[in-house]
Amino acid sequence: MVKMNFGGIEEDVITLEEFSLKKAKKNLEDKVIVVIGYGSQGRAQALNLRDNGLDVVVGQREGTKSWGQAISDGFEPLSIEDACSRGDIILYLLSDAGQMKQWSSVKKHLARGKTLCFAHGFSIVYRDQTEVIPPEDIDVILVVPKGSGATVREKGGLNASIAVHQNFTGKAEDTANAIAITIGCQNVFKTTFERETYCNLTAERGVLVGALSGLIEAQYNELRKRGHPPSEAFSETVEQLTESLIPLIGEKGMDYLFANISKTAQRGALNWRHKFKEACEPVFEELYDRVKSGDETEVVLEDIDPADELEEISNSEIWRAGEVIRNLRSKNQ
């Protein structure tokens, strides 16, 4: 375990030097690992585990698109109940609403000493609402790769967070580390179910998707209202952000970006960042409070079909303009 210093605050980090892939595979070699759900994360984790020589069984509802995808990928999927009955370690990777709906089918197969693994703490943290309450004689752990399923599968080398909710066998943390490493992560940070859930729900609704989408739409709409054509408004709002600035921030940091833009851009950005920060702080405070109170949970568990809202985004001018510009970019590569 390595002590990492984050601005004066130390955190313990497990790296491949302390918990190698060889050690991880040794921890799991005699286990049947069941992946329940074959969506983005389920598929990526199942394939990476199998690539590492582990015994993987996929549990999925028959007749779904994901069932067919699992077959195409060389698995012989089973029903959720049949798969759970075979597993020593069950990765419960359905949607949060789906976990609540399928819980009775999973719980009956959680025999003494098994491990139940989540990729999000939602169902456990809000167990008063989800009624996902595991038996006391199993291990309950959390393994969260810090990336989408596609990134987990195609890129690898991500960071991961782990947590232990129940340590019945005394080996829960080793199991969590082993799963994190064998699904393709290389640095592992310890957290709690509560911290991961509150942070994740806030971030997804905030900077990662919700706030980013809202900021992009607001700037684009203002530029269009002021007479700028779609290509110009999109390029100044999205194209530069995604193709130039975000990769640079990821590689070298926001401080580097500020230090390496024009003096005009630098002065303006330094002044206006405070206005945006002050405008957003009350929104984030409200958002975190709603997450912690469980108000946001109720919305998730209603499981409302987002198709109409997603179609509205797809058909909006900004993202139609984006499609044209991306196609132009691809033709020139």
Tokens of 191: 């957290």
* Rounded Cα distance, 187 and 173, in Å: 14
CA geometry: angle 270, 273, 276, nearest 5 deg: 160
Q: Please identify which residue in the block is written with the tokens 């782990």.
A: 162
Q: Is 120 a catalytic residue?
A: yes
Q: How many helices (H) and strands (E) does the chain have?
A: 19, 9
Among residues 120, 165, 228, 274, the one annotated as catalytic is 120
Listed in sequence order, the residues at least 6 apart from 119 whose beta carbon sits closer than 8 Å to its beta carbon are: 41, 45, 91, 92, 93, 142, 143, 144, 145
* Rounded Cα distance, 272 and 282, in Å: 17
The CA–CA distances, whole Å, from 306 to 302, 313, 317 equal: 11, 11, 19
Which residues are marked as active site? 120
